[in-house]
Amino acid sequence: MKNRRCSWNYFVPLLVLSLGSWLAWAQAASSAPQGGAKAAASNSTTSPGERAFQANCGRCHNPPEQLSPRITGTILRHMRVRALLSPQDERDILKFLAP
């Protein structure tokens, strides 16, 4: 009788862990983007500066509505160090924000 009880002690946590893993996987699968071709098409229509902004700056900031090129350059030089931007990304983002 004791052996049976002991096997349940291992079975229940394993069942709970399996159910939790399955639920996490199902949630991740349902939140994944569905339009692969559509997403690729939208990436081809955006500028390199906009893509660089979204990849590096978009995690913390929305694109500003209007900034003067002088202020944009100052902000970008400051953020270049913090966001570890490459020189090319810096130029592309500057063209995107202050055309």
Q: For 41-82, what is each residue's pLDDT tens digit?
A: 455 678 999 999 999 888 888 888 877 888 888 888 888 888
Question: φ and ψ at 57, to 5 degrees?
Answer: -100, -25
DSSP 8-state class, residue 49: H
Q: Averaged over 12-36, what is the pLDDT?
A: 62
Q: What is the pLDDT of residue 48?
A: 92
pTM beyond cutoff 0.75? no
Tokens (6 digits) for 35: 């339009």
